[in-house]
Amino acid sequence: MARSGPGAARAPRGKRRWAPCLVATGAAVALAGGDGCSDHGAVCGPREAVVERVIDGDTIVVAGDVKIRYLLVDAPEATTGHADCYGAGAAQFNADLVLGHTVQLDYDVDCRDRFGRTLAYVTLDGHDVNRLLIERGYACVLHIPPDGDDRAGELEALESSARAAGRGLWGACDPIPCHSTRRVDRW
């Protein structure tokens, strides 16, 4: 499975979910010599930022034009000509939650995916946005190890509960758009 492409940065294995990467500044990135992530100390992106745009149910753009892809979340597509079942609903739910708000960002092992998006867990006012999307049935779990190894079980249990209750896409879509094999190798 292709997880990350050429030039994709990784945080050192010791820097896991609840030990966020350092805040990136132009000077820090320039001094580090590279894209901001290195094996000696991860600078994945900002720890806090204002959400300027919501691309879809699992991707946002924060201040500084930084594209953030939610870790462990796979929402139905609603962009670039795709209109997956529940994609518009997932994008709207995400926008209602975070658009215009300051969010906290935590990182895991890989800093970026093969599309250059920064991979992060997103929190708003103490609420785990990644978790809410899964719990309310707006998205499925997408676990690409080693990212999310310490949280996958928790989110998979929430997904199972949403599925059993028919919440969100689980009660509205057949087939379930985010369980398609066409999207397994995203990172």
Positions annotated as catalytic residues are 69, 77, 117
Helix (H) or strand (E) segment spanning residue 29: helix 26-32
Separation CA 123–CA 115 (nearest Å): 23
Using DSSP bridges, classify how beta strands 66-70 and 118-124 pair: parallel, antiparallel or unpaired: parallel
Separation CA 78–CA 56 (nearest Å): 6
Separation CA 135–CA 129 (nearest Å): 10
Single out the residue of 105, 103, 108 nearest to residue 17, CA to CA.
108
78 phi and psi, to 5 degrees? -145, 25
